[in-house]
Amino acid sequence: MKVLVIGLGGVTNGGKTTLAKRLGKQLPNCSILYQDDFFKPESEIEIDEHGFKQYDVLDALYMEEMVTSIYSWMKNPTGSSVSTAESKSTPLNLKSTEEVHILIAEGFLLYNYEPLNEVWDRKYFLTIPYEECKRRRSTRVYQPADPPGYFDGHVWPMYLKHKREMKENTNNIVYLDGTKSEEDLFSHVYNDIVRELETWNK
């Protein structure tokens, strides 16, 4: 049995979850792990000098638990607590991959935590421009809700900081334009993964 671990990172509201779910329905033996499931409770989130809760940093997440979950899945994909997506169909050219299990880990801070550096077989990162990101973010309802000025005072500066650090310390990331259609993004990543699996079968 082989395992393929795919990172699907990127900016907030860049389309990560939508893409992950769609891939999960079309790829065989595919499980999805969401980084958002590892947020600490609100009472444990630090507050900066501007009164903004520091959600967009690694310290806001139980990252050790996330690492443990990924390695647990890698050892035993079928017995893991990570939820398996319901695949609609297996393409003809992937019929021989029944012994391959795929994990898509989706999140906004996947490539800035050193203990995860060794797990990725493929790394993707969705980007969208500032204005589009701010517009999309304003249409979402969060718990707790974003206070006034939160996007410009915390979310976007942290994104730029982490993206810069990621580029300095991580290689082989495939950058995706999150303003493209869902169909274009899906086709790009799906075909990339299928090609990867086909090389495993040769």
Confidence of residue 84 (pLDDT cuts 50, 70, 90): low
What is the structure's pLDDT at 93? Answer: 54
Residue 99: which pLDDT band, with cuts at 50, 70 and 90?
Answer: confident
| pLDDT tens per residue, range 50-67 | 899 999 999 999 999 999
Q: What is the mean pLDDT of residues 95-123?
A: 88
Q: How confident is residue 170, by pLDDT bands cut at 50, 70 and 90?
A: confident
Residues with active-site annotation: 36
The C-alpha atoms of residue 133 and residue 142 are separated, in whole angstroms, by: 15
pTM for the complete prediction? 0.90
Helix (H) or strand (E) holding 25: helix 16-26
Label the pairing between strands 100-107 and 2-10.
parallel
CA dihedral of residues 5, 55, 41, 170 (deg, nearest 10):
20
Residue 60 gets which letter from DSSP?
G
16-26 and 182-200 helices, crossing angle to 10°? 50
In angstroms, rounded to a whole number, what is the distance separating the alpha carbons of residues 173 and 124?
6
Give residue 92's pLDDT band: very low, low, confident or very high (50, 70, 90).
Answer: very low
